[in-house]
Chain A
Amino acid sequence: MPLVSALAASHAPNILLEPGSEWEDFMDLHYSMAPKGSSNRPTLEQQKKLRQDAEAAFAVLREDLERSHPDVLVVVANDQFVNFFWNNIPTFFVTVAEEVKGQFTRHRFQYRNHKELGNAIIRAGMEKGIDFSYGENIELQHTQNVPLYFLLREPSIPILPIYVNTWVDPAPSPRRCYQVGELIRAVAEQSKERIAILATGGLSHFPGSPRIGEIDEKFDHRLLEVLRDGKGKALADYSVQELLQAGDTEFLNWMVVIGAVGDAKASYTAYMPDFVATGWGFVSWRSL
Chain B
Amino acid sequence: MSCYDLSRLLFDLKMKDSVYEKALTDFEDVMANYELTAEEKTALRDGDPRKLRQLGVHGMLCLYIKRLQPEFRDNIYWQQK
The judgment on whether A and B are partners is: yes
Q: Tell me the A residues contacting B by CB distance below 8 Å.
A: 13, 17, 21-22, 25-26, 28-30, 32-33, 80-82, 85-86, 102-106, 139, 141-142, 167-168, 207-210
Contact of B59 among A13, A22, A139, A209 (CB under 8 A): A209
Task: Scan B58-74; emit 1 where CB is below 8 A from any A CB, else 0.
Answer: 11111100100001100
A-B contact list, 22 entries, CB within 8 Å:
A13-B80, A25-B76, A25-B77, A29-B75, A32-B63, A33-B50, A33-B59, A33-B62, A33-B63, A80-B81, A81-B58, A81-B61, A85-B11, A86-B4, A104-B79, A104-B80, A105-B80, A142-B80, A167-B58, A208-B49, A208-B60, A210-B53
Known A-B contacts A33-B53, A207-B59; A26 and B81 likewise in contact (beta carbons under 8 Å)? no
Q: How far is the CA of A103 from the CA of B79 in the complex (A)?
A: 8
- Expressed in whole angstroms, the minimum distance between the Cβ of B37 and any Cβ of chain A is 17
The winner among A21, A33, A80, A209 for most chain B CB atoms within 10 A is A33
- Expressed in whole angstroms, the minimum distance between the Cβ of B11 and any Cβ of chain A is 6
Q: Is the CB of B76 within 8 A of A26?
A: yes
Q: Is the CB of A208 within 8 A of B66?
A: no
Contact of B81 among A17, A22, A28, A141 (CB under 8 A): A141
Q: How far is the CA of A220 from the CA of B80 in the complex (A)?
A: 26
- Expressed in whole angstroms, the minimum distance between the Cβ of A30 and any Cβ of chain B is 7
Q: How far is the CA of A146 from the CA of B78 in the complex (A)?
A: 16
Q: Which residues of chain B are within 8 angstroms of A104 by Cβ–Cβ distance?
A: 79-81
Q: How far is the CA of A21 from the CA of B7 in the complex (A)?
A: 29
B45 contacts the other chain (Cβ, under 8 Å)?
no
Q: Which residues of chain A are within 8 angstroms of B72 by Cβ–Cβ distance?
A: 28-29
Q: How far is the CA of A105 from the CA of B8 in the complex (A)?
A: 24
Q: How far is the CA of A223 from the CA of B21 in the complex (A)?
A: 44
Q: How far is the CA of A33 from the CA of B53 in the complex (A)?
A: 9
Q: How far is the CA of A80 from the CA of B60 in the complex (A)?
A: 8
Known A-B contacts A25-B75, A82-B81, A85-B11; A208 and B4 likewise in contact (beta carbons under 8 Å)? no
- Expressed in whole angstroms, the minimum distance between the Cβ of B47 and any Cβ of chain A is 10
Known A-B contacts A32-B63, A142-B81; A22 and B8 likewise in contact (beta carbons under 8 Å)? no
Contact of A22 among B60, B71, B76 (CB under 8 A): B76
